[in-house]
Amino acid sequence: MADSTVVLITGVSKGIGRTLVETYLLRPNHIVIGSVRDKTAPYAQELETLPAAEGSRLLLIKIESTSFTDPAEAIKDLEAAGIEHIDVAIANAGGARETAFIPMDVVGVDDVTDVFNVNTLGPLVLYQAVRPLLQKSKAPKWVSVTSAAGSIGNLEAFQAHVVPAYGIAKAGLNWMTVAAHSANKWLIAIALHPGLVQTDPGNKAAKAMGLEQAPVTKQQSIDAIIALVDNATREKTSGKFYNVVDGTEIPW
């Protein structure tokens, strides 16, 4: 345990989260913690059978993105299971479903609130829960999987006004990421745009843009995410917002 790298990833049932789990498990001496909505579901049982390198293993925890109490309960379970620190926490769970595309002039307050709860407040309570275990790591990192749609500086260039609920929520997550960087001088905190990835939501967004499918494969995105996280430093990387596909910095 003392020599293992401990990585926590939320939302691992499919898409980017699952591919992150698959990739980290193939690294030796890694304890990969993945959050799912239901630990008894078939997809959870399938995750349990994923191949793992020597000294690596998967632990599943229950976190429902709309619950503000699940993260703290999950951390209690992890501590009871012998987890004494977390090296990397990746806040990946999120999404917007159909509510993302409701225009700003008609979108309902309840729709915006629902998306904000999942994409901003969910990561906030996760951060609060994992912070004590991150503080016990020798090189702690917090990673927000966000979206270019949350960039205020590039909102017009990205035409992000078409996804108001999602953009507002991801802008909130971006703010939280910089705040975590600012408040904790011992922590590396970064926000990552994973690209337009070939997941169900990514392909749907791509088709809305006139593309046949999203241009970035899940593995391409995950390899870029992990490379950036591996090389992240407090001095050069923390407190910044990156497009992982091309490595460029995105304005807040």
Q: What is the DSSP string of 138-156?
A: SS-EEEEE--GGG-STTHH
pLDDT category at 208 given cuts 50, 70, 90 is low
Residue 143 pairs in a beta bridge with 90, 190
Q: What is the pTM of this model?
A: 0.94
Residue-averaged pLDDT of the chain: 93
Overall average pLDDT of the 99-116 stretch: 93
Domain assignment present for residue 216? The answer is yes
* 218 in any annotated domain: yes
CATH of the domain at 218: 3.40.50.720
Give the pLDDT score at 2. Answer: 53
Domain membership of residue 185 (yes or no) is yes
Residue 28: inside a domain: yes
Q: 233 lies in a domain?
A: yes
**Residue 219 pLDDT:** 86
**Domain, as residue range, for 31:** 5-243
Asked if the model's pLDDT at residue 99 lies above 90, the reply is no
Dihedral-angle region of residue 247 (phi above 0 means left; psi in -120 to 50 means alpha; beta otherwise): left
What is the token pair recorded at 220?
């391409």
Residue 209: per-residue pLDDT? 67
Query: Is residue 127, in this structure, part of any structural domain at all?
Result: yes
Across residues 133-161, what is the average pLDDT? Answer: 95
Where b means 16+ CB within 10 Å and e means fewer, 19-30 reads bbbbbbbebeeb
Q: What is the pLDDT of residue 97?
A: 76
Domain-embedded: residue 248: no
For 23-68, what is each residue's pLDDT tens digit?
999 999 999 999 999 999 999 999 999 999 999 999 999 999 889 9
Q: Which residues are the active-site residues? A: 166, 170
- In the structure, what pLDDT confidence band is assigned to residue 98 with cuts at 50, 70 and 90? confident
Q: State the total domains in the chain.
A: 1
The per-residue pLDDT for 239 is 98
Pairing between strand 88-91 and 5-9? parallel
Check residues 213 and 81 and name the one with the higher pLDDT: 81
Average pLDDT over every residue of 201-221 = 75
Residue 252 within any structural domain of the chain = no
Mean pLDDT of 166-188: 98
Residue located via tokens 């049932």: 13
